[in-house]
Structure 1
């Protein structure tokens, strides 16, 4: 089970107790925000894409959407999400629980700047009813991103 894999991953940092197992689904931004009791934009959703035939994940704020122009400028190809039935095989977590922790070794992580306006965010923790509250330094430490990117829209006023 992915949540077990994520807890084991966090055990190596001594923070496995920070993983929150919820009584209700957190598989979407709206459900996660309701279950946790936070604003939807503070849910750090992890989106999975194929770049050069290889899986990547981009962690973005709950109210952000991929901007195709920015994405193409960053990754030099059109945004192509991994088909739902292939996400678990490629990334290591099933849809609804995809997170940047304890993922398959060849999957690169990117963090979007839409997250930088929050002191804490809530990414999933490997299952459709889990999360973990992290500050941005912790998110960066535990997700080990390749880099921060600017590939989203709809989170800045008047955009």
Structure 2
């Protein structure tokens, strides 16, 4: 048989490659080719809050940064003399915050988010206080419900553990429980799990235009 009529036999591995390339070219011509995927080894990890390796990592990281910056902007306008204290350790809970700042748990000003009927609001109270349901029902005109972490984030712009009455994404009614007045200085969060500030209870209520209420018990 003449040499030019000899059928060339390609290695099976190369045939697979050619078929794959041909398939991709066909998809490209039909407008169906998908963008190349970034290899896992090249994906950026943004650490706490997620990165490219988590479905919403970038969004979460940006929200946390924006949350802290919104508090900075609020303080720059309403209390430029107050500094945000950023910690290496998490201050997401009352116990962690008290340990990080060297104060007793009651001195941590926790911000709780609630809804009564169609109205959402924030309540700032001392860290070791509990809601008195009877007092709260009388004060707010009905039974109150705590917001879910997702609802709190959407309304305040702050992640749970960093929720505070400063730099809110949505204007909300703010209440301060009189339990805060047991201290000359309290430590509320500042929009991030690692940030807080020190402020007197009266000044806190003044710069947030909060209303004083008596709805907690120790």
Give SS of 2:145's match: coil
Task: Give the Cα separation in 1 of the matches to 2:175 and 2:71.
Answer: 18
Question: Given the alignment of the two structures, is residue 62 of structure 1 paired with residue 62 of structure 2, yes or no?
Answer: no
- What's the offset of the Cα at 1:122? 0.3
Q: Which runs of 5+ in 1 are unaligned?
A: 155-159
Alignment check: 8 A CA contact 2:123 2:177 kept: yes
- Please tell me whether Structure 1 or Structure 2 has the larger radius of gyration of its CA atoms: 2
For residue 184 of structure 2, what is the aligned residue in structure 1? 119
What secondary structure sits across from 2:150 in the alignment? helix
**TM-score for both structures, normalised by structure 1:** 0.91
Q: Which stretch of the first structure deviates more once superposed, 95-104 or 118-127? A: 95-104
Please tell me whether the aligned partners of residues 64 and 114 of structure 1 are also in contact (alpha carbons under 8 angstroms): yes
Secondary structure of the corresponding residue to residue 18 of structure 1: coil
Segments of 4+ moved more than 3 angstroms: none
Give the conservation status (yes or no) of the 8 Å contact 1:8–1:16: no
Q: What is residue 153 of structure 1 aligned with on the other side?
A: 217
Greater helix fraction, Structure 1 or Structure 2: 2
Which residue of 1 is the match for residue 172 of structure 2? 107
* Aligned partners of 1:7 and 1:16 also within 8 Å: no
Residue aligning to 2:68: 3
- Kindly indicate whether structure 1 or structure 2 has the higher relative contact order, using CA contacts under 8 Å at least 6 residues apart: 1
Judging changes above 3 Å, is the alpha-carbon distance between structure 1 residues 20 and 74 closer, same or farther for their aligned structure 2 residues?
same
Contact 2:184 2:200 in 1 (8 A): yes
C-alpha RMSD over aligned residues: 1.3
- Alignment check: 8 A CA contact 2:162 2:191 kept: yes
Which residue number in structure 1 is paired with residue 196 of structure 2?
131
Aligned pair 1:25/2:90, yes or no? yes
Deviation at 1:136, TM superposition (A): 2.1
* 3-state SS of paired residue (1:77): coil
